[in-house]
């Protein structure tokens, strides 16, 4: 799997979405992967066995290819979680 380039802006977006939708697992689409942060990353790791990475100033992250989204969503929803899938917005 290719390495996803995580930036602090991604983490700030995650935090804002997490604040707006408390209790939802937030998955951000970054390039060709979905990425989860902190407790959401840990939950995905527990349910799927996907690996967790550490980023300075961000903490735990877990990312997976968009081709895995159906499998991951199935496991998250089956476990009783709400999920927020977030695609990046581009400035016009």
Q: What is the rounded CA–CA span in Å between residue 43 and residue 29?
A: 17
In whole numbers, what is the pLDDT of the chain averaged over residues? 88
- The CATH number linked to 56 is 3.40.1170.10
For the segment 32-38, the average pLDDT, to the nearest whole number, is 93
Query: For residue 10, is it within any domain?
Result: no
What is the span of the domain harbouring residue 41? 26-86
- Where do we find the tokens 């899938």? 85
Residue 2 has pLDDT above 90, yes or no: no
Residue 1 has a pLDDT of 43
| 8 Å CB contact between 72 and 16 | no
* Per-residue pLDDT tens digits for 13-31: 899 999 999 999 999 998 8
Q: What is the pTM of this model?
A: 0.85
> What is the count of structural domains for the chain?
1
- Nearest one of 22, 75, 78, 19 to 62, comparing CA atoms: 75
């Amino acid at each position: 799997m290719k390495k996803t380039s995580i930036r602090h802006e991604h983490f700030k977006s995650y935090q804002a979405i997490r604040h707006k939708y408390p209790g939802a697992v937030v998955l951000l689409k970054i390039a060709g992967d979905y990425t989860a942060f902190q407790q959401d990353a840990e939950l995905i790791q527990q349910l799927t066995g996907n690996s967790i990475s550490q980023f300075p100033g961000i903490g735990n992250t877990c990312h997976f290819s968009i081709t895995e989204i159906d499998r991951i969503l199935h496991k998250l929803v089956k476990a009783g979680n709400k999920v927020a899938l977030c695609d990046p917005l581009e400035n016009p």
